[in-house]
Amino acid sequence: MDKIYVNKMAFYGYHGVFSEENKLGQRFFVDVILELNLKNAGKNDDLNKTVNYQDIYEITKKIVEGPPKKLVESVAEDISEALLSTFPNIQKCHIKVTKPDPPIPGYYDSVAIELTRSR
């Protein structure tokens, strides 16, 4: 299956289980991989046969910068549901949400969740 990658989209959101996260907010990075057939888009040079990258970004932004969720897992689930319901040609989507600065003690680069959903 062909794939579209939109990597490391950066947003500011208010998701988390701690009240400081909901009040102060923090950065989130989102990676999206969409699986779909791109043959007709490539052969015909036709945007209507693929998925517009700007649309992927705007849908993701609306969710990440939207109402707070306790769990990053919920954010990723909402993104996958929105993309699959908006674009019928997507067969499978992989969503990775990274929280680079969670308020937990220790030394690490980031925490992230990744999920895959299909029709």
- Is residue 99 among the annotated active site residues? yes
- DSSP, collapsed to helix, strand or coil, labels residue 88 as coil
Q: In what order do the strands lie in the sheet with 111-118?
A: 2-13, 26-36, 92-99, 111-118
Cβ–Cβ under 8 Å, residues 74 and 102: no
Of 23, 49, 70, 99, catalytic: 99
Residues labelled catalytic:
99
